[in-house]
């Protein structure tokens, strides 16, 4: 256990569905991240939040909408996804958004049908 | 791109042997980190080495950093079957950018 939890662990959704991924950290960290991991590709950073403020958005399509209500919780709202969005979505947290080791959750395996 | 590149892409060894993985990167860094990932799970932080450090140890792990060659190596000594996982290097650019991960080395340790 790394102190970062993600729910659900597995999600299958159709292209017209709306769903949300949840991440919670119990480490007292101030920065949280969403990553996408697809087969045979490097880990892709999607969003970064530092003290609840979004500090990075790496040209992610608008069908992915992050929300960070406080430093302990991070959501990724999904709507009208495409099959190529199927991947492992990883949440991470760290003390600050620069220069510190990151602690990862177990991930949500998303399949878009 | 700041991205790290691990080498080899895959490594297969017997228990008890040492495993060495390499990472190369392109621009100046503040620090370099190594992570491991068991299949389909989250990444686990192993070790962080700062740009002014040359070598660091943690248990059976030894990491070296050569900033002149823009490369790092991770050595796992006396490997165990439980070390089977993918190993990633991640770099934190000198402009205090967020981490950039490589594609990883898949290590298989056979009993």
CB–CB of A45 and B92 under 8 A?
no
CB–CB of A33 and B98 under 8 A?
yes
CA–CA min distance A96, chain B (Å): 10
Q: Which residues from B are below 8 Å from A3, CB to CB?
A: none
Local confidence pLDDT in tens for the 113 residues of chain A: 779 999 999 999 999 889 999 999 999 999 999 999 998 788 999 999 988 788 777 789 999 999 999 999 999 999 999 999 999 999 999 988 777 899 999 999 999 99
CB–CB of A104 and B42 under 8 A?
yes
CA–CA min distance B11, chain A (Å): 16
The radius of gyration of chain B's CA atoms, rounded to the nearest angstrom, is 13
- Can you tell me the distance from the alpha carbon of B28 to that of A20, in angstroms, rounded to the nearest whole number? 37
Dump the DSSP string for A47-70: EEEETTEEEEE-S--TTEEEEEEE
CB–CB of B98 and A106 under 8 A?
no
Written as six digits, the tokens of A53 are 């403020």
What is the three-state SS of chain B? Answer: CCCCEEECCEEEEECCCCEEEEEECCCCEEEEEEEEECCCCCEEEEEEEECCCCEEEECCEEEEEECCCCEEEEEECCCCHHHCEEEEEEEEECCCCCEEECCCEEEEEEC
CB B21 within 8 A of CB B4: no
Residues of B with CB under 8 A from a CB of A: 3, 30-31, 33, 35, 40-45, 48, 88, 92, 96-104
The count of other CB atoms within 10 Å of the CB of residue A55 is 13
Q: What is the pLDDT of residues A70-100, one digit of tens each?
A: 999 999 999 999 999 999 999 999 988 777 8
Q: What is the pLDDT of residues B9-27, one digit of tens each?
A: 999 999 999 999 999 998 8
């Amino acid at each position: 256990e790394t102190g970062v939890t993600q729910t659900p662990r597995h999600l299958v959704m159709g292209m017209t569905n709306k769903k949300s991924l949840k991440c919670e950290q119990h480490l007292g960290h101030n920065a949280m991240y969403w990553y996408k991991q697809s087969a045979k590709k490097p880990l892709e950073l999607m969003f970064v939040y530092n003290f609840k403020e979004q500090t990075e958005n790496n040209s992610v399509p608008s069908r992915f909408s992050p929300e960070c209500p406080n430093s302990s919780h991070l959501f990724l709202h999904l709507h009208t996804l495409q099959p190529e969005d199927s991947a492992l979505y990883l949440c991470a947290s760290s003390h600050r958004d620069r220069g510190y080791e990151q602690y990862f959750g177990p991930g949500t395996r998303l399949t878009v049908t | 791109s700041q991205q790290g590149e691990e080498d080899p892409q895959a490594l297969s060894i017997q228990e008890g042997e040492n495993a060495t993985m390499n990472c190369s990167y392109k621009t100046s860094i503040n620090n370099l980190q190594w992570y491991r990932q068991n299949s389909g799970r989250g990444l686990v932080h192993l070790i962080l080495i700062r740009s002014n450090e040359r070598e660091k140890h943690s248990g059976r792990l030894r990491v070296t950093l050569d900033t002149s060659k823009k490369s790092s190596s991770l050595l796992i000594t006396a490997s165990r079957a439980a070390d089977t996982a993918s190993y990633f290097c991640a770099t934190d650019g000198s402009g205090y950018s967020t981490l950039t991960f490589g594609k990883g080395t898949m290590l298989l340790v056979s009993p």
